[in-house]
Amino acid sequence: MIEIILSLAQGKMRKAIEITRNDLSSIRSGRATGALVENLIITAYDGSQKLKLQEMATIGVPDAKTILITPYDPSVLQDIVKSIQSADTGLNPVSEGEMIRITIPPMSQEQREEYIKLARTKLEGGRIMIRQIRQEAMKDLKKETEAATISEDQQKVGEKKIQELTDEMISEIDNIGEKKETELTQI
């Protein structure tokens, strides 16, 4: 029973880490990456469709400062440009024939500091998710002890294993955060 609770907690914690990683990938770091635009919602076809950019176009990164977007349907090119401009990304798309070029401007020190604060907030959100999952697992162990399916000694062992798992996952989030901060401070 302890293994089941531990396995469920581990799966949920992995999901929380993945959510945090995806959240952080949307933070601009001065380098071009498809993650900056791939989840933007594009209103196309005279407002009848709302789709993510990654569903409507291929997103390429030919160099560290450029994102190229090639729509599958060239008729939505202007819709994509308008949606990127209206989203609060600070990006300036330029239409070039059947594709869109976005040049990533260099970030000021002030912007870098703001993005580092934002990254830390998102990282703390990830840590909170993991702690909540730990708390749920601890409650499940307590319920099993009260139902007499496991002994108090087994509960203590289970709690120790859950805490070790929690420490490992929080350490992984901290490592992701350190990499993002390094990325944000590089010019």
d(CA 8, CA 12): 6
**Domain ranges in the chain?**
2-25+108-185, 34-103
* pLDDT, tens digit, 9 for 90 and up, residues 75-89: 888 888 888 888 777
Amino acid type, 184 = L
- The helix (run of H) or strand (run of E) holding residue 144 is helix 109-146
Averaged confidence pLDDT in the chain: 88
d(CA 56, CA 100): 13
pLDDT at 166 (0 to 100): 96
d(CA 91, CA 88): 8
Please identify which residue in the block is written with the tokens 């176009």: 57
- The helix (run of H) or strand (run of E) holding residue 61 is strand 57-63
* pLDDT, tens digit, 9 for 90 and up, residues 157-177: 999 999 999 999 999 999 999
Residue 14 CA from chain centroid, whole number: 13
- HSE-up of residue 178 (Cα within 13 Å, Cβ side): 6
Burial class (CB in 10 A: 0-12, 13-18, 19+), 126: buried
* pLDDT, tens digit, 9 for 90 and up, residues 4-34: 999 999 999 999 999 999 888 878 777 777 8
State the fold for domain 34-103: Gyrase A; domain 2 (3.30.1360)
Question: Fold match between 2-25+108-185 and 34-103?
Answer: no
pLDDT at 84 (0 to 100): 84
Q: Is the pTM of this model over 0.75?
A: no
Q: For the domain 2-25+108-185, what is the CATH superfamily, name and number?
A: Ribosome-recycling factor (1.10.132.20)
Sorting pLDDT into bands at 50, 70 and 90, what band is 104?
confident
